[in-house]
Amino acid sequence: MAVQPMTSIWLRLRRSAGDFRRDRSGLAALEFAIIAPVMLVMFLGTVEFSSGIAVNRKVTLIARTLSDLTSQAAVQAVTDPYLQNVFTASIVIVKPYSQTPVKAQISEIYIDSNQKATVQWSKGAIIASGALQATLTPSSRNPNDIVTGLVPPALLVKQTYLILSEVSYLYTPAIGYVMAKSGVNLSDVAYTRTRQFACVTYNNVPLITTPPTCPTP
């Protein structure tokens, strides 16, 4: 058997290597297989974070709306039906996202002559899925609770009243690959001063003996 010269073998190896280098069939598929998962994760992450930011903005709008509607009440004494209608405004604001689980509460705070902030009254509400109205619930804040540390220093004006609204929303991402699958708790607060009257009463609190003057203990 004749032995091929080394030069011939070397030339064939060089030719095969050149053919392999020039053959790009399947390269695009390989690149796509490597890049596609990364791009998919980036896309889903962008969608989830964008939705989260949008919902967080709506939480802020709900907080501002609740405090604003309460502080500008046309009547000095608000009732459960009035507060229920105020809380129900959250349903329209949070759309098109699910209104569950929106939790909110409204409180009136009095700042005394020593700049101590005390809760006068407070009422909470939750928004159930598909509900047309909010459901009133007890608030986590009670009358006479001291909340001085909660109020911004600039709002601690002596012998004045504030309406405080607090809103929380558990944002659950649709996919959950990038953000927490269990959801992210979003919350915000808003303060407004009463507009039409010195204070807003609820269930005769604060007790006004000389309308429309509010007590200043």
**CA end-to-end distance (rounded Å), the chain:** 118
Residues ≥6 apart with Cβ < 8 Å to 70: 78, 83, 86, 106, 163, 165, 192, 200
**Average pLDDT, stretch 167-191?**
82
Q: Tokens 């909340």 belong to which residue? A: 147
| pLDDT tens-place string over residues 64-96 | 999 999 999 888 899 999 999 999 998 889 888
Mean pLDDT check: name the lowest of 29-43, 50-64, 86-100.
29-43
Q: What is the pTM of this model?
A: 0.77
Q: Is the pLDDT of residue 166 over 60?
A: yes
Place 1 in a pLDDT band, splitting at 50, 70 and 90.
very low
Cβ pair 62, 167 in contact under 8 A: yes
Q: What are phi and psi of 64, to 5 degrees?
A: -65, -40
Q: Is the pLDDT of residue 208 over 80?
A: no
Q: Is the pLDDT of residue 36 over 50?
A: yes
Q: Is the pLDDT of residue 191 over 70?
A: yes
Residue 59 CA to residue 191 CA, distance in Å, equals 14
